[in-house]
Structure 1
């Protein structure tokens, strides 16, 4: 199964986007980015990050285990923009589970959706 939580096999889900096919919408890109974090796929994450906000590199905590993704809301905000609100659960080492709750902004450039930035929710 795909790490993003869909009922599809990785190859039929996020694996397609990781292999180079453009994600069809912002929610698919969000799911594929979550899967890329699970798999420590830095090249994909950097390639799908808008250039104005893209970091030079990503440091992964090898003690962090991703536990699941829940899409709270996904909406189109313009002809080439969208937002996805999600909750990603994780655990570091033997600690308790924690969560990242974010509303992410995406833009479409050409045929590619890109992650711009996000607001952390309480």
Structure 2
């Protein structure tokens, strides 16, 4: 397995396609030549969710390399004015991040191939370090810059 293709298992984004045929193609393209190619805001959001899911996955042979590739992808897809440092995306010593296991996209506005802005509302389910269930709902904002979709920010529902 490689950093850009953890296997032919279903993509974590929930579309039901194998990872290499779904979000893996966006991750692989970025890993190969730095290109960001997700054609819609929703595609970018799903690929970012998948990157976060793979960032904490440790069930394959190349987990450290995959995590580094996913951090690079996440940072590249973040708008410059809100982009966190790489260290902010990786767990510190003794920290166990939430392991997200399911994604449901509940609404999108704009964000198509010919739009310049878009929003995606989603709910992500997972488990924290103690095994407790986690539910994260976010209304995310995206902007197209020079033909490339980027995540700007989002409002997390309480």
**Higher percent of residues as helix:** 2
**2:59 equivalent to 1:44:** no
2:101 aligned residue (56, 61, 67): 67
**2:37 equivalent to 1:3:** no
Q: Alpha carbon RMSD of aligned pairs, Å?
A: 1.7
For residues 12-37 of structure 1, give each alpha carbon's deviation from its aligned partner in whole angstroms, at most 9, with x where no partner exists: 10011112251010000000000000
TM value normalised by structure 1: 0.92
Aligned to 2:21: 12
Q: Secondary structure at the match of 1:19?
A: helix
For residues 25-77 of structure 1, give each alpha carbon's deviation from its aligned partner in whole angstroms, at most 9, with x where no partner exists: 00000000000001111111000000011011212454532120000101117
2:50 aligned residue (29, 35, 38): 35
Q: CA deviation at 1:110?
A: 1.7
Aligned to 1:83: 119
Structure 2, unaligned stretches of length 5 or more?
1-9, 30-35, 56-69
Distance 1:98 1:56 in 2: 24
**Higher percent of residues as strand:** 1
Q: Which has the larger radius of gyration?
A: 2
Q: Secondary structure at the match of 1:44?
A: helix
Aligned to 1:116: 152
TM value normalised by structure 2: 0.72
Structure 1, unaligned stretches of length 5 or more?
none
Distance 2:138 2:74 in 1: 17
